[in-house]
Amino acid sequence: MNHFAAIRAQLDRCGVDAMLLTNEANRFYASGFHSTGTDGVAFVTKKNAYYWTDSRYIEAAGQAVTDAEVALTTVGRSYAALINEASERDGVETIGFEDEYMTVAELRQYSERLHATLKPATALMTGLRMVKDEEELAALIGAQRIAERALSEIYNDIRPGVTEKEIAAKLTYLMLRYGAENMSFDPIVASGANGSKPHAVPSEKQIAAGEFVTMDFGCIYHGYCSDMTRTVAVGHVSEEMDTVYHTVLRAQLAGIAAAKAGVPGCDVHNAAAKVIADAGYGAYFGHGFGHGVGVEIHESPRASTTWTEPLPVGAVISAEPGIYLPGRFGVRIEDVIVIRGDGCEDIHRAPKELLILP
Ligand code: ZN
Ligand code: ZN
């Protein structure tokens, strides 16, 4: 899968003759080829597409990249020189660059060396990546199915005495075992009082009876991320734990019910936040309802108080309200949804009823 043609189709609208991509996520989106680190440049003009990289990646790039000219950069043939050659050949006078990613030092170097004029154009890529095509959705769903398979097995390991780190390690192993290319992010496993920290780091703490265990994890498949959170109980729950769990679940369902194309992201957040506030827990839900998911685990658009733009058809966002009671416990439930014209589609299959493990 590559998106050279999709990028090319946006050049005129953004007032540039070419797009220069150095950010790894954008290069992957354009070319379908992952080269870790900083070494690789994709360059899309109105006539051609180019992918340049160094000797460590050139063979793999040659095999993976289609619809673009793949060439080698060397000490005597810098990326700037390659960009100048291609610009001359294709009549490029204005080059869009990733103003939200490029470092000040890189920008200075390119400005000095390039013959064409540079123009900030991250928005071209953000706008494209925000709307997923069917191939991208298939990859996202594939990643989700791997995570769900890991989840269904990890329940066998969650019992009093097992540490958060052991659960995190097993989740990682299971996702790799079932076909993940990598983790979307380091798994979060938080039990008992640790659960009140939304992004707790798995610790040596042993899981105990009467506690919630929150697991937030995801993997990468065909370059696309999954993201999910399930909170399960061990042994038994108090009345308040039960209330909080079901409040979070109702809030998530309210947000999902409000999510459809044309609705501002903040309205989706507010629909969920209202359920939590009405239940008296408004002060304990501090983060946004959802974030875009795709090549990166956090991307546009958002379903948060600050995102006032309407959600587009084909956007993929998480739905993850939570309630966090400091020093006591926390609950978060997270699915990923696809925004459609008349509503949204929850790509998750894992049950969300309160699960109390023995
Ligand atoms: Zn998550
Ligand atoms: Zn998330």
User: Contact 234/356 with Cβ under 8 angstroms?
Assistant: yes
Domains 4-129 and 134-357 share a fold: no
| CATH classification (class only), 134-357 | alpha beta
Question: What would be the CATH architecture of the domain defined by 4-129?
Answer: 3-Layer(aba) Sandwich (3.40)
Q: Say how many Å lie between the CA of residue 229 and the centre of ligand 1.
A: 5
Q: Is the pLDDT of residue 11 over 90?
A: yes
Q: Please give the residue that has the higher pLDDT: either 35 or 40.
A: 40
**In this structure, which ligand is nearest to the CA of 304?**
2
Ligand 1: distance of its center to the CA of 286 in Å? 15
Q: Which among 283, 288, 284, 282 has a CA at the least distance from the CA of 301?
A: 288
Mean pLDDT of 196-218: 96
Edge-first strand listing for the sheet containing 343-346:
299-303, 290-292, 316-319, 335-340, 343-346
Ligand 2 centroid to residue 76 C-alpha, Å: 44
Confidence (pTM): 0.94
Q: How far is the CA of 6 from the centre of ligand 2 (A)?
A: 27
Residues of the chain above pLDDT 70, percent: 99
Query: pLDDT digit string (tens) for 73-99?
Result: 999 999 999 999 999 999 999 999 999
Q: What is the pLDDT of residues 108-166, one digit of tens each?
A: 999 999 999 999 999 999 999 999 999 999 999 999 999 999 999 999 999 999 999 99
Q: Is a pLDDT exceeding 80 seen at residue 276?
A: yes
Mean pLDDT of the chain: 97
Distance 283 CA to ligand 1 centre (A): 21
Arithmetic mean of pLDDT, 168-186: 98
Closest CA to 323 of 289, 284, 282: 284
193 pLDDT more than 80 = yes
- Per-residue pLDDT, 35: 78
State the number of CA atoms in the 13 A half-sphere of 149 facing the CB: 15
- Residue 38: predicted pLDDT: 67
Distance from Cα 194 to the centre of ligand 2, integer Å: 18
Task: Pick the ligand that lies closest to the CA of residue 303.
Answer: 2
pLDDT exceeds 70 at position 330? yes
Are 125 and 4 a contacting pair, CB within 8 Å?
A: no
Q: Domain coordinates of the chain in residue numbers?
A: 4-129, 134-357
